[in-house]
Amino acid sequence: MTGRFAISTGDTLAVDGGAHTRDPLEFHRKLPGYRPTPLLTAPSLATSLGVAEVLVKDESSRLGLPAFKILGASWAAYRAVVDRLGGEIEPWSTVAELAERVASLKPFKLAAATDGNHGRAVARMAALMGFDADIYVPAGTAQARVDGIDSEGASCTVVDGNYDDAIARSAKEAGERCLVISDTSWPGYVDIPTWVIEGYGSILWEVEDQLAERGDATPDIVVVQMGVGALAAAVCGHYRRADAPSRPRLLGVEPLSADCILESVEAGEIITIDSAQDSIMAGLNCGTPSLLAWPLVSTAIDVYVAVDDDRAREGMRQLASAGVVAGETGAAGLAGLIELTQSADAEPARKALGLDESSRVLVLSTEGATDPEAYEQIVGRPQQAVASSSVPTT
């Protein structure tokens, strides 16, 4: 197996992610089925990795969907719709009331590009508000993920191209009767992806609360997946904010075949990689970093690692052994940590992170088995069997 590493040369501890509030979390608490996702202690992972503790934030079920993406999609869609209505609506406490408040926009729709999870989340939020949804996916998207989008009542179109091509197609839908809800940004399009990043912050506020309930401190290292960089920007902003209780070291992980952030960091500027982005870590198959996320992810992350698909498979199996159901993208964070602890070339990266036998590490498992057939082939047992052996939650 071969991984690639890059170490930040900037003063990462001096970065301030700006204002971060709990407003998105208060919004999410109003949505049907809200509850904090589990923060698990995984002793078997700590032993295999040679560290003191591994914590796993398990996003395999979030607001009725099998991934964390609904947090960003729902907050961004809500903020964008309110903005379209003039900036304020009457108070509401249920989604039925919210749908009444925004009904004057109809006929109306939301559009998005996706590798699966984000688009399904946008479609779910559109349905909750009584709107239509048009979702665009790149060629090669797993049928199970297309079926998931269809199940939300959305129109799902396969674009002959990659994720960037799907983004370009979805952007054409913007108009008086349609809002494009994208998790990446481009010139002139920044508000909505900013709200997506804010929405992802709910994960991190939950972690803070869960650790406080246990009487535990912030972990020494936080591992985060990087696609276009939206989730990574949320992590950077949260842990580099001015009032953060501590500043853990940050490890960013992406696929070798879609390492647009690592290559951009090495180049010193945003670049678009021209290789095929065909990793099984489908949610990370992105060729260009987000303009909005770039200032944070290019300076606040301490170490960047790109991993191959076999590492993702290994991460899925190790998480399954700990009772955590994680799809390919969900396991990517652990895959990066495995690469860091096992690669002969990783010593400089381990030193930069301060990773040793005393380290406490937080891993974000960002999705469940969004392609159940592939999951069973890789893990060797169905997701139901893994979930039934889940470790106790906190």
Structure confidence at residue 182 (pLDDT):
96
Residue-wise pLDDT tens digits, 327-368: 999 999 999 999 999 999 999 999 999 999 999 999 999 999
Give CA–CA dist 18/210, Å, rounded. Answer: 23
CB neighbour class for 295 (10 Å; exposed up to 12, middle 13-18, buried from 19): middle
Q: What is the pTM of this model?
A: 0.94
pLDDT-derived band at 385, boundaries 50, 70, 90:
confident
pLDDT of the residue at 313: 98
By mean pLDDT, which of 38-42, 223-227, 356-360, 390-394 is the weakest?
A: 390-394
Instruction: Report which of 108, 92, 110, 111 is spatially closest to residue 100, judged by C-alpha positions.
Output: 92
Token pair in block for residue 60: 């395999």
Q: What is the pLDDT of residue 14?
A: 47
What is the mean predicted confidence (pLDDT) over 179-187? 94
Domains and their CATH numbers in the chain? 4-68+193-387 (3.40.50.1100), 70-182 (3.40.50.1100)
The catalytic position among 57, 58, 69, 109 is 69
pLDDT for the residue 386: 82
Quick one: 9 exposed, middle or buried, by C-beta within 10 A (0-12, 13-18, 19+)?
Answer: exposed
Handedness of CA 219, 225, 226, 230 (dihedral sign): negative
Q: Which residue has the tokens 């070339």?
A: 345
Q: Which residue(s) pair with 137 in the sheet? A: 158
* Percent of the chain whose pLDDT exceeds 90: 90
Identity of the amino acid at 337: L
Active site residue 216: no
In the prediction, which pLDDT does 21 show?
85
State the catalytic residue, choosing from 57, 58, 109, 115. 115
- Measured in residues, the chain has a length of 394
112's CB contacts (< 8 A; 6+ apart) are 73, 118, 119, 122, 123, 133, 135, 136, 170, 180, 181, 182
Instruction: Using CA atoms of 319, 67, 220, 310 in order, give the dihedral in degrees to the nearest 10.
Output: 40
**pLDDT band at 116, cuts 50/70/90?**
confident
Per-residue pLDDT, averaged over 152-179, amounts to 96
pLDDT at 324 over 90: yes
How far is Cα 384 from Cα 162, in angstroms, rounded to an integer? Answer: 32
Q: Summarize pLDDT for 266-315 with one digit per residue, the tens.
A: 999 999 998 889 999 999 999 999 999 999 999 999 999 999 999 999 99
Question: pLDDT class for 16, splitting at 50, 70, 90?
Answer: low
* 360 alpha-carbon distance from chain centroid: 21
- What integer best gives the mean pLDDT of the chain? 94
Asked whether the predicted pLDDT for residue 391 surpasses 60, the reply is: no
Residue 115: active-site member: yes
15 band by pLDDT with thresholds 50, 70 and 90: low
| 86-103 confidence digits (pLDDT tens) | 998 999 999 999 999 999
Mean pLDDT of 152-167: 95
| pLDDT tens-digit map of 233-264 | 999 999 999 888 899 999 999 999 999 999 99
Query: What is the 8-class DSSP label of residue 70?
Result: H
Under the banding of pLDDT at 50, 70 and 90, the label for residue 10 is low
